Amino acid sequence: MRLSRLLPARAIALLAAMPAARADILIAIDKSKQQMTVTVDGEARHVWPVSTGKGRYDTPAGEVKPFRMERHHFSREWDDAPMPHSIFFTQEGHAIHGSYEVRRLGTPASHGCVRLAPENAATLFALVKQQ
């Protein structure tokens, strides 16, 4: 999968390149806007508010690929905080996941993960799992 344009330096792109019979998924997170855009086969399907890392807990930038998914995950590092529909993209534990702190969406608030509303995380999880 190739990007048709360069992503801003403050963005992260999660690429889920699939075999030819399946869809190409690009999950782009714009940290300056605290917004995620999900593109399938070049067509923007979803635009959602997110919360990325706050302060010294910056969310990594650049292109990454998902390597593990867990429907029901609890953070061992952060007091067993619930992380429903987690899609992990770094070995250090960064993930895109649902958050019940929906009032914080649209502002940096996490310890480096990308937080979504629970229903949006479930939709994204199902889309990536389907591929």
Q: What is the pLDDT of residues 12-55, one digit of tens each?
A: 666 554 444 567 999 999 999 999 999 999 999 999 999 999 99
Mean per-residue pLDDT, 1-5: 35
> 6-34: buried (b, 16+ CB within 10 Å) or exposed (e) per residue?
ebeeebbbbbbeeeeeebbbbbbbbbeeb
Q: Find the radius of gyration of the CA atoms of the chain.
A: 14
Tokens of 15: 């690429």
Mean per-residue pLDDT, 57-77: 82
Place of tokens 């998914």: 69
